[in-house]
């Protein structure tokens, strides 16, 4: 690998990104569970960057931590529609390279 190519690879970072929140009308409740209507995925340019990392591995670890974070569930044992929407949003978080062309508007 040439030195310039290696330097370019070293500059690529990783973003942990969340998709936009779903509108509440896309959530239906039955049997005590939320069911989400299928919506077309939003372009990455509309997603929110929640953290940045130096490597894809670190980003995946950050995503796992976010998924396991008890803050998602709050202190109440009863999960609300808003909690379910937030949980699904975090479940769909992705690690995206900072130079990914889909991030451009």
| DSSP-assigned states of every residue in 37-57 | PP-PPPPGGGSEEEEEESSHH
DSSP 8-state assignment for residue 47? S
Total residues found in the chain within this entry: 105
pLDDT beyond 80 at 5: no
Q: Is this structure's pTM higher than 0.75?
A: no
Q: What is the pLDDT of residues 20-60, one digit of tens each?
A: 877 666 677 677 666 666 667 788 888 999 999 999 999 99
Q: What is the pLDDT of residues 55-91, one digit of tens each?
A: 999 999 999 998 887 555 555 667 777 777 777 888 8
């Amino acid at each position: 690998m040439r030195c310039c190519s290696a330097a370019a690879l070293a500059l690529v970072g990783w973003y942990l990104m969340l998709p936009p929140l779903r509108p509440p009308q896309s959530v239906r409740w039955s049997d005590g569970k939320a069911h989400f209507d299928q919506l077309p995925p939003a372009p990455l340019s509309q997603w929110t960057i929640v953290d940045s990392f130096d490597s894809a591995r670190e980003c995946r670890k950050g995503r796992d931590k976010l998924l396991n974070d008890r803050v998602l569930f709050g202190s109440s044992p009863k999960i609300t529609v808003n909690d379910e929407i937030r949980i699904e949003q975090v479940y769909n978080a992705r690690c995206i390279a900072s130079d990914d062309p889909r991030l451009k508007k």
